[in-house]
Amino acid sequence: MRSPGRGSGAALEGEITDHLGYDKHERAGGEAGNSRNGTRTKTVITDVGPVEITVPRDRNGSFEPKIVRKRQRRLSGVDEMVISPAAKGLTTGEISAHLAEVYGAEVSKQTISTITDKVIDGMTEWQNRPLDVVYPVVLIDAIHVKIRDGQVANRPIYVAITVDGERDILGLWSGDGGEGAKFWLHVLTEIKNRGAADALTVVCDGLKGLPDAIEQVWPQAVVQTCVVHLLRASFRYAARQHWDAIAITFEGRLTPRAPALIRYVPLLRVDQML
């Protein structure tokens, strides 16, 4: 999954915007006495491995980034430093104090506000990006998290993931109340409108009405019950000492669905079939 470089780049763009006093491509840049001067790439070590980020530069050389300092080679994560506290409802002042105490970074409240705005813009762009025409497998599920919107409440986050060599999150959607097939229909329709004309196999749980919602969007898709959900449902009817035997039985009977494979063959390149 791809994200650390994107979040860091957005944060740095927010920092230089606050430093120069104007946004990218604004006319005011030519009259400010200082302006953007391109970017340079930099590789930093993160919790998920090496990540290449884009660092903006200014013509006067006075820009001193705080989130990823000059000559810094290790990054603990922008999500931990700025985005995560903001998502939990901390004010810009509280985040500024947190950065100073934990990371020794003096970041103003205005800079934090600019950074979060830039990251939100980047998230919106990512959420609306064009998708591939067809996906061999799409996994959909909802997780419930606590979200502060005036008050803290449990809300479902609808997640769609594809696996084709690597995992790629197609999108995240925040719902109200409990998980429902009607909202899933909205999510799948949005995915299709972004370019995903078809999905060969859709893996989901046993939510009532969900197979019908999938069929409305992708009529030929094979609906596969998620093995994890299937096992959990089966375990409810067996004692704990029988769970391993049940899991082994399932593993032996799990085979690819023929209709999905038949539809996938014409999409394979010749070199993949040799």
**Cβ neighbours for 142, distance < 8 A, ≥ 6 positions apart:** 156, 157, 158, 159, 175, 179
Do both 34 and 58 map to the same domain? yes
Rounded mean pLDDT, 174-201: 91
Do both 84 and 117 map to the same domain? yes
Do both 140 and 263 map to the same domain? yes
Neighbours of 112 (CB within 10 A): 29
pTM comes to 0.59
Edge-to-edge order in the sheet of strand 134-149: 167-174, 151-163, 134-149, 198-204, 222-225
Interatomic CA distance for residues 192 and 14, integer angstroms: 32
Print the domain residue range for 145.
Answer: 134-273
Interatomic CA distance for residues 134 and 193, integer angstroms: 12
pLDDT in tens, 21-50: 877 777 665 566 788 888 888 787 765 457
DSSP state, 180? -
- Look over the chain and give the mean of its residue pLDDT values, rounded to a whole number: 77
pLDDT in tens, 138-153: 999 998 888 766 677 8
Do both 147 and 257 map to the same domain? yes
Do both 55 and 84 map to the same domain? yes
Interatomic CA distance for residues 5 and 128, integer angstroms: 18
**Cβ neighbours for 50, distance < 8 A, ≥ 6 positions apart:** 43, 44
Select, from the ranges 5-14, 177-186, 259-268, the one with the highest average predicted confidence (pLDDT): 177-186
pLDDT at residue 209, as a whole number: 92
Q: How confident is the model at residue 272 (pLDDT cuts 50, 70, 90)?
A: very low
Do both 108 and 179 map to the same domain? no
At residue 114, the 3 state secondary structure works out as helix
- CATH at residue 201: 3.30.420
Do both 250 and 153 map to the same domain? yes
pLDDT at residue 162, as a whole number: 92
Q: Which of 105, 127, 149 is the last residue of a domain?
A: 127
Q: Which of 81, 107, 127 is the last residue of a domain?
A: 127
Q: How many domains does the chain have?
A: 2
Backbone angles phi, psi at 204, to 5 degrees: -150, 180
The four Cα atoms 146, 150, 151, 157 give a dihedral, to 10 degrees, of -20
Do both 19 and 103 map to the same domain? yes
Q: 165 pLDDT exceeds 80? A: no
More confident of the two residues 153 and 172: 172
